[in-house]
Chain A
């Protein structure tokens, strides 16, 4: 292989490598700068990735409470069985994200996210000896990691776990910027305080 050919191939490969990295940066940076901010409730546990460092596993969840129209339940069951579905987002009275609409076709634009998992939420019946009743459906998304400094990630997990025990009204949520189907985590909060500050950093 001649040097010219090698250099040409290396240039193509370098373009692919930089392009792949840069396109990710541009995509996420654009979403963070001009996307709509939503608060999505989440819990947190703390594992580590050998290359990307320590992170808090987050499970941002939007709950659709019963009663739910039968046609929406049908869509939820299809998504639960493996079909791809999308949720169009809106804001509820508390300022948290809520599911405004479920669709199976990817919307042309706007504030929507692809649903990664759906599962039903059951509630014990108030009538003795009767089966549990459907309380709603939980929707989860593909972003599941919040990377943190490796010195504070374990404390963050502990803080997020203890907060609801100390105060039942305490809430942990993610601030997520959403634009054209892309969701990027902007920050993690416990009762309005950024997690980094909550653990004393």
Chain B
């Protein structure tokens, strides 16, 4: 947006000179859009450098201490653990009190504080040969840093928290799986919501939302995959459909906030990937209800989150369909579809699952291509083509058609994709300009 405002400001004098706009209209446009923020690029660079600097310093300290220096006695190590932590806290306090206007200061010190907490826990564990798992260390680390983003407003600290949760979830032992990853997600999520509402156009807000979505998606997938068979599919589809629904808000017009657009594409791609997996009949044959693991707390939590996501996605489906936004409506409709088909499969109607998801993927792909062509949006059309390509590739593996027939379908579809792209590029305004 900043780039567009800068472009508009550069164009206005010429438009006034050529009589296209009156000076009053140009002044009104200037007032409406405001002055372009020329320091934005500089502050972005500053922010990136400061954040990477903080992370490298923090990570470097952890690695240096992990060397386990023989020369350092226990008191020296204890002093280093506390010293690094106090230094990071002092710098963060300084940033909050004296440099609150500087994003670079806030982000760098908050990132450093997150890393320092980990360094302190690790050093104490190393010094006293404290047993326990890697997951236990991550658990303590996460709970001691989850509040940092709320106090400092740092997106980097929030992203690091989500990244730590992502790493932790792969190290959880299923036998004594704790329920607190969901509590951590619940504790970290309000910051993300506040951030995207406060700063909807920034990349920082979009990245925070994407990091949180990936982390929650992973937590749910890992826990659900330890529940009853194929619960992971219910969670994945419901969650991704809900994210598509949230990213498509408001239902009656295209999203204006940048974070929604930036979140939509990865959610859409994830939905295509999971939807394609569910077009295989094997995915539905194993669904049963006779396993005892579904009473475990993390599994129940995953199921509850999945149902909540499915409910939201279904409401969005209805509203998007009423507004005529059919590709987004089809995407969010996958949630109610997967819930119903999963229930059917539990009662031995498994054939409905893979047939319905083949139809859904086909319909979703066609609707997206048509929407992309109608609105001259090359990216949308290609997303639809990608969906159809995924469906065709999936059927390549489990149909009894001859290799000749499959090969001809592939070639025909490939030519179709190229033709649509060439045709759309020729129709695009830029192409018309260059021809003129």
Contact = CB atoms under 8 A, between A and B. Distances in A.
A22 interface: yes
A149 B70 contact: yes
B129 A29 contact: no
Contacts of B74: 29, 32
B100 A3 contact: yes
Contacts of A143: 129-131
A49 B132 CA distance: 11
B377 interface: no
16 contacts: A3-B96, A6-B151, A7-B93, A10-B92, A13-B144, A18-B82, A18-B89, A21-B81, A32-B74, A51-B119, A51-B137, A52-B122, A52-B125, A53-B65, A54-B68, A147-B126
A50 B62 CA distance: 9
A6 B152 contact: yes
A199 to B, nearest CB: 11
B130 A25 contact: no
A16 B129 contact: no
Interface string B126-162: 1111111010010010001001101110000000000
Nearest to A186: B129
Interface residues of B, number: 44
A24 interface: yes
Contacts, number: 124
B144 A51 contact: no
A17 B83 CA distance: 12
Contacts of B412: none
B120 interface: yes
A196 B70 contact: yes
Contacts of B122: 49, 51-53
A77 B122 CA distance: 35
Among B126, B131, B132, chain A packs the most CB atoms within 10 A around the CB of B131
Given A21-B121, A51-B118, A142 B131 contact: yes
A51 B121 CA distance: 9
Given A145-B129, A146-B129, A21 B120 contact: yes
Which 9 A-B residue pairs are closest in the complex by CB-CB distance? A53-B66, A28-B128, A185-B129, A51-B122, A143-B131, A144-B131, A14-B89, A147-B126, A52-B126
A17 B117 contact: yes
B86 interface: yes
A158 interface: no
Nearest to A23: B124
